[in-house]
Amino acid sequence: MGLLMAVATAFATVGSVRVARHHVNNAADLSALAAARLALFDPEGACVRAAELAAQNGVQLTRCEINDEVADVWTALSISLPVVGTRTVTGRSRAGPAEVSPRQEQ
């Protein structure tokens, strides 16, 4: 019975970490997109908006950089795991305009 509980706890821990990783990466993606949208018009406000969006998604924006039109953001989420204690899961995402290749004339 003890072995079964240990295996079940291990699976639950791995599952929790995977869910947290997806959550923090999704929040980073959304925050980067929001920051990139404002990067040209309001570079200072872009990181503020990214932080607001990250907070609304339950994660913390730990770093935000705007370089030209590209937003680069880092997010973090603290999770509590059985046996190992509290750990921090981090995510990173970049967003900016797609480069459009010139039209080829025929």
| Number of independent structural domains in the chain | 1
Structural domain contains residue 17: yes
The whole-number pLDDT of residue 105 equals 45
Structural domain contains residue 104: no
Count of CA atoms in the C-beta half-sphere (13 A) of 52? 7
Structural domain contains residue 101: no
Mean pLDDT over 78-102 rounds to: 82
Whole domain around residue 90: which residue ranges? 2-95
Structural domain contains residue 106: no
Structural domain contains residue 105: no
With 0.85 as the threshold, say if the pTM is over it: no
pLDDT in tens, 62-71: 999 998 889 9
* CB burial of residue 64 (10 Å; 0-12, 13-18, 19+): buried
Residue 101 has pLDDT above 70, yes or no: no
Quick check: 21 and 44 in contact, CB under 8 A?
A: no
The whole-number pLDDT of residue 90 equals 95
Structural domain contains residue 84: yes
Structural domain contains residue 58: yes
